[in-house]
Amino acid sequence: MPHPLLKLCGNHSEHDVSVASSSTAEYIGFVFAKSKRRVSREQLQLWLQNGLKEQKKIVTLFVNEPIEEIQRQLVDLNVDIIQCHGNEPAEYIKQLKSLVKQSIWKVIHHHDNALETMKTYEGLVDGYVIDCKVGQQWGGTGISFDWRFVPQYIEEGHRQHVPVWIAGGINPNNVQNLLRYEPDGIDLSSGIEENGRKSYELVRQLEERMNRNGTK
């Protein structure tokens, strides 16, 4: 079975950055939206200056943020991807894409019309993250959606020739169930945390379970 890409998201302290940096994750994510995991531009700048970026791609996450504010936050920051985690419409994504150099990932929250929503971004995004929205919480909830729907999202993403990442409630104990669906990437936050901090041990367990499924 092929090995999916790994993203560790919601890093918000030097400790978290150290855990994520020492992992095999190809992508490291930072929340710029209202959240207990929110980081400032200045924090990320410092971590980048201290060598965080070597070997890793950096994802910055926004929720329905005015485009000018995204531009303001990212000026002179060497980051690779902007993850739009709210309900930003296609027109917004089109405008953002025309103004920034980073790749753009759109989060689709699993719901009855999610597949139709996904189709509206065709040709505009460089990837999708399918996540679980719980009440007013856009992400980082630790809750999974019904993974039997994963194949339909992968099929639609591949029809659009872009990768599909799965997020929401993934942890070392359930990751193998998800890997059966062969997502292009998996995105975790709560499932590798202990007392609100990323855990070296949980990341180690995650990598060990992922490796049981195939080699990188």
Residues that bind ligand LARABZUK in the complex, under the rule CB under 6 A: 9-10, 31, 33, 35-37, 61, 63, 85, 131, 138-142, 167-170, 187-191
Which residue, 7 or 76, has its beta carbon nearer to ligand LARABZUK?
Answer: 7
Which residue, 123 or 196, has its beta carbon nearer to ligand LARABZUK?
Answer: 196
Shortest gap between Cβ of 206 and ligand LARABZUK (angstroms)? 11
Residue closest to ligand LARABZUK when measured from CB atoms: 140
Bridge-based pairing state of the strands 27-31 and 57-62 = parallel
Which residue, 18 or 174, has its beta carbon nearer to ligand LARABZUK?
Answer: 174
Which residue, 76 or 146, has its beta carbon nearer to ligand LARABZUK?
Answer: 146
Shortest gap between Cβ of 98 and ligand LARABZUK (angstroms)? 24
Sequence-distant (≥ 6) Cβ neighbours of residue 155 within 8 angstroms: none
β strands within the chain, DSSP E:
5-8, 27-31, 57-62, 81-84, 103-109, 127-131, 164-167, 185-188, 193-194, 197-198
Extract the tokens encoding 62. Answer: 């926004």
Shortest gap between Cβ of 176 and ligand LARABZUK (angstroms)? 16
In a 10 Å sphere around its CB, with 0-12 CB exposed, 13-18 middle and 19+ buried, how is residue 197 labelled? middle
Shortest gap between Cβ of 193 and ligand LARABZUK (angstroms)? 8
Shortest gap between Cβ of 57 and ligand LARABZUK (angstroms)? 14
Shortest gap between Cβ of 64 and ligand LARABZUK (angstroms)? 10
Which residue, 110 or 123, has its beta carbon nearer to ligand LARABZUK?
Answer: 110
β strands within 87-212, DSSP E:
103-109, 127-131, 164-167, 185-188, 193-194, 197-198
Question: How far are the Cα atoms of 40, 49, 74, 135 from residue 186, in angstroms, in the given order?
Answer: 25, 27, 24, 22
| 134: DSSP letter | B
Which residue, 49 or 176, has its beta carbon nearer to ligand LARABZUK?
Answer: 176
Extract the tokens encoding 174. Answer: 């359930």
